[in-house]
Amino acid sequence: RPGNGQFNYLLDPQTGKPYGVPADGAQGKTVSGQDMFPVYNNQAAYTPQQCEVDRCNEHVGQGGGPPHLHGDPFGNGKGASCLYGPQNYTSVDGTTSVDAHPPIIGFSFDGHLIYGRYLSTDAPGYQKPLLDACGGHSHHEDSYDIYNFSLADYH
C-alpha cells in the first residue's frame, strides 16, 4: 500500500499483518565486519530514494554509529570502492570472469552465507536451483545460500 509506509513484501500473506522492519540491529555482517541492514530504513523508506546512502549503499549511523550497509555493496569500479565488484568473481580455474559464481560477501545472523549478485545468466547456480522469495536456494538438504544482498524481502 504505497504512501503509508507499508509495502506488500512486509505483509504476511496469510494474515495481511505487517512483519515490521527490523529497527534495533543488523541482520548480518560483511566479510569485512560491517553491519548489514535491510535496504529499507526503520521507517520502511527505501534508503537510496531518501538520499541516506552512498553508491555502495553505505552510510554512518544516525546516532554517530560506525559505517554500515543498507543494500548491495557492489561497485562497478568506476570511482567506487565498494565491498566487491566484477574483479571478485573467480572461476574454478582461478580466472576472473562475470560468468563465475558470486563471491561470499557476508554472513546472516541466522547462520546463512550471503553471496553477491549474479552478473551472468551463465554463472553456476543461476538457473537451477531457482532463487526463492528471499533470494536464496538450497543445493541439498543441509545447505541454504542467500544471493543478491538487498535484504529487501528478507524476514
Tell me: the pLDDT tens digits for 12-43?
A: 677 877 665 555 678 899 999 999 988 887 77
Residue 23 to residue 42: CA distance in whole angstroms:
5
CA distance 28 to 88: 20
**pLDDT (mean) for 117-123:** 87
Q: Residue 113: phi, psi to the nearest 5?
A: -75, 145
Tell me the average pLDDT across 58-71.
82
Mean pLDDT of the region 68-81: 84
pLDDT of residue 58: 92
Burial of 30 (0-12, 13-18, 19+ CB in 10 A): buried
